[in-house]
Each structure stands twice: as C-alpha cells, then as structure tokens.
Amino acid sequence: MENPRIIHRGPYKYVEAGEGEPLIVLHGLFGALSNFQGVFDYFSSHFRVIIPMLPIYDMPMLKTSAKNLSEHIEGFVDDMGLEKVHLLGNSLGGHVGLIFTKNNLDRVASLSLTASSGLYENAFGNSFPRREDKSFIREKVAVTFFDPKHATEDLVDECFEAVNSREKVLRILSIAKSAIRHNMSKDLPEMKIPVCLIWGRNDIITPPEVAEEFQAGFPDSDLFWMDECGHAPMMEHPETFNLILASWYETRGILQKT
C-alpha cells in the first residue's frame, strides 16, 4: 500500500492496514514510516498493522526520552482499545518496545527486535553530527547500511535537516543519552514472552554481540542473522526480513502455516 493515509487521533498520528491481531511497528530515531513499507505491505495480509509516529520532535525538551516515548505508546494502545499486541521495533523503536514490554508484560503477545538499542548503541560513531556538513551526514547515513546505495538523497536530506535544527538536534541528543542511561539488561529475564531477534551481521551501530547478549538475556528467544546487512534489515533486504519474521510467527503458532 503506497503512501498510506496518516490518521490523526488526538495527540496520536499513525497509519494502519489489515485485520486481525494488532501488530504495532515502532520506528527508530531517524526512522520514517517508509522504512517499514515492505513490512506494512506484507504483514497487513495477516495482521492489523499499525505504525504510530513517535513524537520525537514534539515532546517538551525535558521529557524527550525513551521512557516517555514508551509512555506515549502506552497511551496510544489504551486510546485504540487494544488489549494485547505484537510489537516490532527497529533501533530506538526496539528500545521503546522493550520499555513498553517491561511495564505491560501482560499486554504483549510477542516482541520482535531488529538492530535494537537497549543494551548498547554506537549512535554517531563516537562523533557528534557536524552541522552544515552534508558530506559528513551522507557518510553517517551510509554506514547504517552494508550497501551504501540505500542511503538515498531523501534519507540524507531528512537527517541533514534534523541536525541543522537546534530544536531537533537537542532532542536527538536527549533521546540518545536517555537510551544509553536506560540499559535493559537486568529486565530481560523477566520478559517471559516469545521474542524474535533479526540482526544484520554487518551492523556497526548495534553490532552482532548486542544480538547475542539479547538472546542470552531473554528466557525465550530466537536469533536470525542476515548476511551483507547493516542496521536496518527491513529496508536493506525487505523480502528476506519478511520471510524470516513470517516463518517465526508460523513456528510460534501466531500465524497459520500457508
């Protein structure tokens, strides 16, 4: 479904398609709804797929944190009247999903993470994003992927605009710092639900050892690797990503085998 209509519901903005059990998809810090276009199109045949827009640039500065983004999603789930949800999160979105799961364990049917923060994240390669330097931004966007061709001009422009806005860059830094402070390692053993981990072997932002630490921490998780793949598997290899996730849902009895 190309260019789905953004629905406004009070303080919430989201897109949705499909019917069935709700699958909430959570995007990353520089994520856009288009990052999950392949997931949205594929899984809306199996789930009621809902992608809320995280209010990264709209929250009060002092409340801009991974924790408060999770509370925003709690409010959204309540407002939508959803009793139990499947969660899928990439990068910061995975971290938001982790916090939501910790605080609402009885409302999460399954959790799927791809290149999630929550344990460790090398957000800017140990260097602050230089403003007014588009070549630097292009380079930083490119290292998100194994193949730099995925660093489109639209993505570069979006990131360049963000880091050249004082208001936005302060929020980006606030969230990045809050994510580092909010380490979830001690919380993982309590999350006794099915967890799917899909990771790029070439991810340098949340490297492979992060996936292995997640798997060791969760009581019930499966880890799948994607070769020649960086920090956004659902963008870099969308068909493979969807097949891995769909197969896992089938194995766990969440989807009927076709």
pLDDT at 164: 74
Supply the pTM of this predicted model: 0.90
b/e per residue 101-116 (b: at least 16 CB within 10 A): beebeebbbbbbbbbb
Query: Which pLDDT tens digit goes with each residue over 2-18?
Result: 567 899 999 999 999 99
pLDDT at 131: 56
Mean pLDDT of the chain: 88
Neighbours of 183 (CB within 10 A): 13
Grouped pLDDT means (10 residues each) for the chain, 258 residues: 80 95 90 82 96 87 85 97 97 95 97 92 54 73 84 80 76 77 91 98 94 97 97 95 98 86
DSSP one-letter code for 220? S
One-letter amino acid identity for 6? I
φ/ψ (deg, to 5) at 37:
-60, -45
One-letter amino acid identity for 83? E
pLDDT at 99: 96
pLDDT at 130: 54
pLDDT at 132: 59
Return d(Cα 213, Cα 137) in angstroms, integer. 30
Best CA proximity match to 51, nearest among 10, 92, 6, 110: 6
Residue-range domains of the chain with CATH: 7-120+183-251 (3.40.50.1820)
H or E stretch covering 54: none
